[in-house]
Amino acid sequence: MEWYRFVSHGRVQHVFYRKFVSQALMREGFNGYVCNLDDGTVETVVFITDEESELSRVVQILEEGSPMSEVEKVEYEIVDGIEIETDGFEIRY
């Protein structure tokens, strides 16, 4: 059980990408958040309990994106020592 930080690159801002991601991950029962970064990428932080099955599902959702987005790549890493207060999945501004 770990917090993962994903960064999505490509055309992912101003195309409803955050809304798509937050709704899809909420439907799947994940906890975390999604937010725009100043460099034009989007950060998604997700709590994953079963790396074998859940990690690939999260990456699949992030790579799919909204109909208007064009995701070029998704990078991720495990984040140690993170404390996030959330009871679901949210969009942060």
Query: Do the beta carbons of residue 44 and residue 8 sit within 8 Å?
Result: yes
Out of 18, 31, 57, 92, pick the active-site residue. 18
- Tokens at 12, concatenated: 């992912």
Can you tell me the distance from the alpha carbon of 78 to that of 93, in angstroms, rounded to the nearest whole number? 22
Q: Name the strands in the sheet holding 89-92, side by side, starting at the edge strand that comes first in the sequence.
A: 70-79, 2-11, 42-48, 31-36, 89-92
- Tokens at 21, concatenated: 């991601």
**For this structure, is 18 an active site residue?**
yes
Out of 11, 36, 57, 92, pick the active-site residue. 36
Enumerate the active-site residues.
18, 36
